[in-house]
Every structure is written in C-alpha cells, then in structure tokens.
A = this chain, B = another copy of it.
C-alpha cells in the first residue's frame, strides 16, 4: 500500500477513533437511571436534562450554569426514625460519658445514658443544642473529621442493621452520576452538620467536600501551640434549613440552581428560589410512600415533615417522586 492510500486511511482511522472516544465520554450510559422505573418522573428528568444539554435546544444552559442541589436526609439517604447525625450524637454521648460523670444526673445527658431518647428531647431545642455542643465542639476540625470518619465506618442503623452509608438511595446515586456526566455541578445542601457529611460525601456520593453545604458551628483560629489549628466553638454559626438553604446557596455558590431536589418543608425555600429563576428550571420532591422497602410518611411526620411543600409542589406542577412507584430499588444491594 503506497503513501497516497495510507495517509487518507490514517486520517479516517484517527477520526473514527476520536469519535469513538468522544462518544464513550458523552453517552456513557445508553440506558440511564437503571434503578428508576420507566415512569413520568424518570421521563421528566431525562427530558429536562436533554433540553438543558442539547446545544441547539431553546432550553440549552451552558455547563457553568448547570447547578443541581440536593437535600441530604430523606432525599439522598434514609432519615427515619431519626436523622443519622442524631444517632452520631447519641453514640458520642455514650462514648464520652466516662469522662463526664456528672452527666448521670444532668439532663439531657442522663436520659440519653438511660436510653430514653424521648426524655432527652423533652427539653426541646435547648436540650438538642446541649447534646450538639457536648459532642461536636471543643476540638479541632481535624480531630472532629477523624471522629466522624471513625463513626461512619462502623455505625449501623438500629432497625435495619445496615451501615448508615449503605442506606443511601441507589436511584439518587445514579441520578447524580447522570448529571455529572452531563457537566452538572452537583451540590448537597443539607440542614445536617457540614463536617459530618464531608466524612462520607466524597466516597459514597462522589460529592467532594467543597460541594457540601450544611449547618455549622463557629470556629476560631488557634496558633498558640506552634502548629495552627481551627477550633470548633460551642456556638451555632449557621442553620442551613428552610430559608437558610437559599441564603447559603447564594453565599457559597453565588449562582441560582437549575435543578433542586428535596423531600420536606425544610427544602421548600430552596425549591422556590430555584424555580423563581429565569428560563426552564426543575424542582422535585421525594415523597416517602414505600412502607415496605423504606418508610412511608409526610404531613404528620416528626422527622422530614412534608406538608406545605407537598401542596406547593402540586399547585405549581413540580415533580413529586413516588418512591414506591418510581424506584425499582431503594438501596444498591436490592434486586
């Protein structure tokens, strides 16, 4: 074969190879969202994302503006009968009790140590704050990260016996992957403490620490010991819930989300803020309808109450996901 034939052939091969490589990147999932049933909910997501990512679509959105925000508790992982972060607090109180003998006679600690969670919570927000500060303040950020990682590696849900990190919703993992493959920036915006979430978000969700927004304590710079540390103070810095969510999104991301996913009234303002932006946007509420495979709850629930946001979703035509009908499986190891 002479050079004359060889060169065009090389060109064809290179072009084909480059095309194959590009298409492998862009269409990595020929059947996206495999744990989702083929319902209107899945179709609404696929249709919206197709519009936002197709260059000649009237709904095209440049990659830089493809921000997707997800609540965590009840949206990405289970939140019943109590937030996982509350189990963390209870476990830490038990672990720390020997160093605090006075806790045996002091509420809310005494009730926790007796296993009486209801009694501990009888003190309301003040009791919760006392538990938070006793377990999450007074150490450096590095120390807290180690404590959180240790707990996450072994802590199990009292009813399911699963690791908490195995109670993440497989369909949502697929959705986050699907969005990232289409150049969305995926954020978690949660009422939970930001540093505990960062202890598993990257490994479990593929969401790096800088894409996690949450509640926080005030901190203090301490360079008195030669090696600088950042100390966690027993004082609330920010509660990332209800209107706190859009405020934190604006402060940290500085750009309005294109898509927002939540499951409770605490997410309502985040969804409102998202949908009040220009152009087509997407809001979805996870409705916990599956008592057999997970929990079924909404308007009357103590944790993850979904009432006003459900009404507003129906009124405004936001997508309401039905966990029982829309999801083939809840957790990744289910058939």
Contacts and interface: CB of A to CB of B under 8 A. Distances in A.
Interface in A204-252: 208-210, 212, 216, 219-221, 223, 227-228, 230, 237, 243, 246-247, 250-252
Interface stretch (A33-41, A42-50, A268-276): A268-276
Contacts of A219: 247, 250-251
A64 B228 contact: no
B209 A254 contact: yes
A291 interface: no
Contacts of A272: 223, 228
A255 interface: yes
Contacts of A67: 210
Interface in A160-211: 185, 194-195, 198, 202, 208-210
A18 interface: yes
A212 B251 CA distance: 10
B221 A269 contact: yes
Interface in A4-54: 9-10, 13-14, 16-18, 20-21
A141 interface: yes
A253 interface: yes
Contact of A209 (B141, B209, B253): B253
Contacts of A209: 253-255
A64 B208 contact: yes
Nearest to A222: B243
B64 A252 contact: no
Contacts of A252: 210, 252
A228 B273 contact: yes
A292 interface: no
Copies of this chain in the oligomer: 2
A69 to B, nearest CB: 11
Given A228-B269, A246-B230, A254 B212 contact: yes
A210 B237 CA distance: 20
Contacts of A273: 228, 230
Contacts of A185: 210
A77 B281 CA distance: 36
Contacts of A202: 64
Contact of A13 (B1, B10, B212, B251): B10
Interface string A94-121: 0000000000000000000000000000
A216 B251 contact: yes
A247 B221 contact: yes
Contacts of A223: 269, 272
Given A221-B246, A228-B273, 4 more contacts: A13-B14, A219-B251, A220-B247, A221-B269
Interface of A: 1, 9-10, 13-14, 16-18, 20-21, 64, 67, 141, 185, 194-195, 198, 202, 208-210, 212, 216, 219-221, 223, 227-228, 230, 237, 243, 246-247, 250-255, 269, 272-273, 276
22 contacts: A1-B1, A13-B13, A14-B16, A14-B17, A14-B20, A17-B21, A18-B21, A64-B202, A185-B210, A194-B251, A198-B254, A209-B253, A209-B255, A210-B253, A216-B251, A219-B247, A221-B243, A221-B246, A223-B272, A228-B269, A230-B246, A230-B250
